[in-house]
Amino acid sequence: MVVKGTTSRQARRPGAEPGLRERKRSATQQRIAEAAARLATDQGIAETTVDEIATAAGIGRATFFRYFDSKELAIATGLSDAGAYVLAGVLADVPARLGPLDAVRAAYARLGEDFEAYRPMFLEQAQLSRSSPAMLAWTLYLYVDWEVAIAEAVASRFTDLRPGDPRPRMLGAHTMTAARLACDEWVADAGRGDLPALIQQYLAASPTSTPTSPTSPQGES
Amino acid sequence: MVVKGTTSRQARRPGAEPGLRERKRSATQQRIAEAAARLATDQGIAETTVDEIATAAGIGRATFFRYFDSKELAIATGLSDAGAYVLAGVLADVPARLGPLDAVRAAYARLGEDFEAYRPMFLEQAQLSRSSPAMLAWTLYLYVDWEVAIAEAVASRFTDLRPGDPRPRMLGAHTMTAARLACDEWVADAGRGDLPALIQQYLAASPTSTPTSPTSPQGES
DNA sequence: CAAGAATGTGAGACTCAGTATCATTCGAGT
DNA sequence: ACTCGAATGATACTGAGTCTCACATTCTTG
């Protein structure tokens, strides 16, 4: 759902490699998202028009809307391409013996290792995502895609998984929620705090960690 | 954040009852949301203009945007006022001995009792919330308010709650996620299934129900 | 390689969402 | 009653998002 659907009535057989048309399409998609994110980061969202983004991406205005439903969505996509989507990829490299939740925590820990290098860029993007109601709304919309990606990435770690099992999707949502709330708190603190640690704290705060049980703070970075 | 903030520099002392001005304001807010939801339900979202909503609510066009940031937000608010916000209210009436998660499950069970009466209306609203990317984005945006409301409603059920404890917010998000995903599945099934039961299933699928541990099905409907 | 079908593209026109301004009206407190 | 701050509505304006159509590009089939 990240790429706006093509009108392809001309179905491609599943096994074949993507043709020139599809490669061009995803390349254009990426150029637009990158241009949108860069312009919005530089000049602000309101000051960036779709015309500018389209020109910067080397396409026409009408074409822009064939790729993204809204300006905010293009920006949010460009911001996040460098961000949370990689989590699904990292998840694949985490030891298979780890359970779903532990795998997520390990993946975040891995990502947190070179967090400091990206801190300023990350803060800028996190602030931009929250800078207006419309921007936040479309960011939340994108999170759904990430939830699905994470759900697919962890699904194999569930044993006795029945079709339609709610657990992978719920874990995907839980993961994104932890990231979102941790980011909220981090941004509210002007990006001074330790975001990876915050994420781990939120991840640990599962709904079944009943108050009577100690809910050990889990202070690992 | 449901009501768009007033510019009130003339602070009202916290104890006093709301004056005519504030009562009028929330009444107008509600009239707009209701008119927006009704028109959108009747004619569709794209076919409903802000002008129509404003006229139906008996206000001017410019005033509309002093109450809502976007058309979709007004519609989503109108749709949800009849829906999930009541959950926070029901939560207060649930026996105090229940823990946070059990309280949520009990509250949903209570709401599910007269679900059948509202099934058609509920389905219509759920479909409308998912009818377009923009509508879904703004619906997700509203869910954040509900998360906060639920978090506040369950906070007292956590023992040893430190300020800034992530658990209430995470539970609020968990609750809304369960409702959202259950609704997705329910809508995909054209509203034929048992929504309350679905919600309970999703609620039970907590991230710590590790696959190695039996993950007791918790089959109470 | 040729030709036709399917699809992607850009230009321009159009509707309407969302913002800003300003004169007017309304509510709260004296 | 009087005054100040806030809410309102009319108006005008920018720009998002949609639509259509002519044209270009890619895919397919022979």
pLDDT value for A36: 96
Query: pLDDT > 90: what percent of chain B?
Result: 71
CATH classification at residue B58: 1.10.10.60
The mean predicted confidence, pLDDT, of chain B is 86
Residue A9: predicted pLDDT: 54
Residues B27 and B123 in one domain: no
Find the helix packing angle between B100-113 and B85-93, rounded to 10°. Answer: 110
- Predicted confidence (pLDDT) per residue in B148-159, tens digit: 999 999 999 998
Check which CATH number belongs to the domain holding A183 and give it: 1.10.357.10
Q: Are residues A93 and A39 in the same domain?
A: no
Which residues of B are less than 8 Å from A171 in CB distance?
Answer: 207
CA–C1' gap, B10 and D8, in angstroms: 18
Residue B187 covered by a domain = yes
Query: Is the pLDDT reported for residue B90 higher than 80?
Result: yes
> Which of A4-18, A59-73, A201-215 has the highest average model confidence (pLDDT)?
A59-73
In terms of domains, do B34 and B96 share one? no
pLDDT above 90: residue B87 = no
Give the residue numbers spanning the domain of A32: 20-69
Question: For chain A, what is the HEC assignment?
Answer: CCCCCCCCCCCCCCCCCCCHHHHHHHHHHHHHHHHHHHHHHHHCCCCCCHHHHHHHHCCCHHHHHHHCCCHHHHHHHHHHHCCCHHHHHHHHHCCCCCCHHHHHHHHHHHHHHCHHHHHHHHHHHHHHHCCCHHHHHHHHHHHHHHHHHHHHHHHCCCCCCCCCCCHHHHHHHHHHHHHHHHHHHHHHCCCCCCHHHHHHHHHHCCCCCCCCCCCCCCCCC
Between CA A181 and CA B169 the distance in angstroms is 8
Q: Tell me how far the alpha carbon of residue A102 is from its chain's centroid.
A: 19
Q: Within a domain: residue B9?
A: no
Is A64 a member of any domain?
Answer: yes
| Whether A97 and A63 share a structural domain | no
- pLDDT at position B212 is 34
In whole angstroms, C12 C1' to A66 CA is 17
B168/chain A closest Cα distance in angstroms? 8
Footprint of strand C on the protein (CB under 7 A): A 6-10, 21, 24-25, 28, 58-63, 66-67, 134; B 12, 16, 19-22, 24, 48-51, 61-62, 65, 69-72
Average pLDDT over residues B73-82: 86
Decide if A5 is inside a domain. no
Confidence band of A8 (pLDDT split at 50, 70, 90): low
Looking at the structure, do residues B42 and B105 belong to the same domain, yes or no? no
Does the structure show a pLDDT above 90 at A128? Answer: yes
Strand D proximal to A48 Cβ, under 7 A: yes
- Last residue within a domain, chosen from A12, A36, A69: A69
Mean pLDDT of chain A: 87
Could you tell me the distance in Å between the CA of residue A110 and the C1' of nucleotide D30? 55
Amino acid A82: pLDDT: 60
- Judge if B63 and B140 occupy the same domain: no
pLDDT > 90: percent of chain A? 71
Q: B122 pLDDT exceeds 70?
A: yes
Please state which of the ranges A6-15, A119-128, A151-160, B65-74 shows the lowest mean pLDDT: A6-15
- Asked whether residue A137 falls in the same domain as residue A52, the answer is no
Question: Where is average pLDDT lowest: A13-17, A153-157, A201-205?
Answer: A13-17
Per-residue pLDDT tens for A91-122? Answer: 989 999 999 999 999 999 999 998 999 999 99
> A63 and A97 share a domain?
no
Would you say the C-beta of A69 is within 7 Å of strand D? Answer: yes
Is A159 in the same domain as A200?
A: yes
Tens of pLDDT, residue by residue over A170-219, are 999 999 999 999 999 999 999 999 999 999 999 999 876 544 333 344 43
Q: Is A198 found in the same domain as A140?
A: yes
* pLDDT grade for A16, boundaries at 50, 70 and 90: low
Residues B121 and B193 occupy one common structural domain = yes
Number of domains in chain A: 2
pLDDT at B17 over 80: no
How far, in Å, is the CA of A150 from the C1' of nucleotide D12?
A: 48
**Residue B4 resides in a domain:** no
Whether the CB-CB separation of A101 and B210 falls below 8 Å is answered with yes
Q: Which residue type occupies A163? A: P
* Structural domain includes residue A11: no
Q: Can you tell me the mean pLDDT for B1-16?
A: 56
Q: Which nucleotides in chain D have some atom under 7 angstroms from a protein Cβ? A: 5-12, 15-20, 26-28
Q: How confident is the model at residue B213 (pLDDT cuts 50, 70, 90)?
A: very low
CB B181 within 8 A of CB A166: yes
Q: What one-letter code names the amino acid at B210?
A: T
Residue B57 domain-assigned? yes
- Residue B34 has, within 13 A of its CA and on its CB side, a CA count of 10
B31 Cα distance to chain centroid: 18
Judge if A56 and A99 occupy the same domain.
no
B164 neighbourhood in chain A, CB within 8 Å: 185
Domain annotation covers residue B170: yes
Q: In terms of CA atoms, which chain B residue is nearest residue A213?
A: B159
| pLDDT at residue B173 in the model | 97
B 41-100, residues with C-beta < 7 Å of strand D: 58-63, 66-67
